[in-house]
Amino acid sequence: MLLVLTGVTAVSVALLAYVNELTKGPIAEANAKTLNEALKKVLPEFTNNPVAESDTIFSEKDGKKNVDFIVYPAKNGEELVGTAVEAKSMGFGGELKVLVGFNAEGKIYNYSLLAHAETPGLGSKADKWFGAYDPAKGEQAVSHEASTKSILGMNPGETPLTVSKDGGMVDAITASTITSRAFLNAVNAAYQAYKAKGGEVNGVSGASQKATDADAATGATIKVELTDSVSAK
């Protein structure tokens, strides 16, 4: 009996490994397609390959909560027209993953909610609530000047984004303040990563570090310290 169970287990493990190997390629292709579509959505028109030129940034605050960022530069010819940053934050139901697009002046161009585990009909509204639009579907951008829900056109470097309940300028999702805070926290963090890509920041050791052309070419890891964040309470 023991030999039979052992044999069944071995076969099951082998089959699972085989299935995982079969699905690995299609899953990777699907993820790449989703990312490329999101980059086209959140950035001004570009002619380069942002994924091939991307940088990975490792961020740390007070020695805790390590957060990984991926920075995607968008160029039209030789001109840098924008930058997209993939950032994460903990929401009400789990991790939020956001892709935020900034134009060359540091203003938010658009965003895409890549993944979340928020409550359907409540926190899940973050995918559109803060002004995200899809130009491929003929949707038009609505700036913060036109709607206090929208973050489009705002520069987190001038004023970190916070919800109106906390004295900020952005209207939270109805009945989903925690999700709203978490989302804006991710956007603020994404902006810091955007700035770190081309400027000096305080590293974990306190020394100044700069993202050089060599870093961009090799995808080097840069350490930054988050100084402006919105805790989800």
Q: Which pLDDT score, from 0 to 100, does residue 201 have? A: 31
* pLDDT category of residue 30 using cuts at 50, 70 and 90: confident
Q: Which residues of 83-92 are buried (b: 16+ CB within 10 A; e: fewer)?
A: bbbbbbbbbb
Burial of residue 108 (number of CB atoms within 10 Å: 0-12, 13-18, 19+): buried
Question: Sheet of 95-103: strands edge to edge?
Answer: 108-115, 95-103, 79-90, 64-76, 55-61, 221-225
In this prediction, what percent of the chain has a pLDDT beyond 90?
Answer: 61
Mean pLDDT of 119-124: 92
State mean pLDDT over 60-83: 82
Distances (CA, A) of 86 to 4, 19, 176, 195: 48, 30, 22, 13
Confirm if 110 and 133 have CB atoms less than 8 A apart: yes
Which ranges of 93-176 would DSSP assign to H, the alpha helix?
A: 126-129
C-alpha–C-alpha distance, residues 85 and 74, integer Å = 11
Length of the chain: 233
- Whether the pLDDT of residue 64 is over 90: the answer is no
User: What is the structure's pLDDT at 56?
Assistant: 85
The pLDDT of residue 86 is above 50: yes
What's the chain's average pLDDT?
Answer: 79
Facing residues of 98 across strands?
87, 113
pLDDT at 222: 42
- 152-177 confidence digits (pLDDT tens): 999 999 988 999 999 999 999 999 99
At CA 90, angle to CA 225 and CA 194, rounded to 5? 40
Q: What is the predicted pLDDT for the residue at 32? A: 75
Give the C-alpha separation, 108 to 99, whole Å.
Answer: 11
Segment 131-157 shows an average pLDDT of 95
Backbone angles phi, psi at 162, to 5 degrees: -140, 160
Predicted confidence band of residue 88 (pLDDT cuts 50, 70, 90): very high
Q: Which residues is 225 bridged to in the sheet?
A: 60
pLDDT category at 233 given cuts 50, 70, 90 is very low
Q: What per-residue confidence (pLDDT) applies to 14?
A: 62
Residue 9 pLDDT grade (very low, low, confident, very high; cuts 50, 70, 90): low
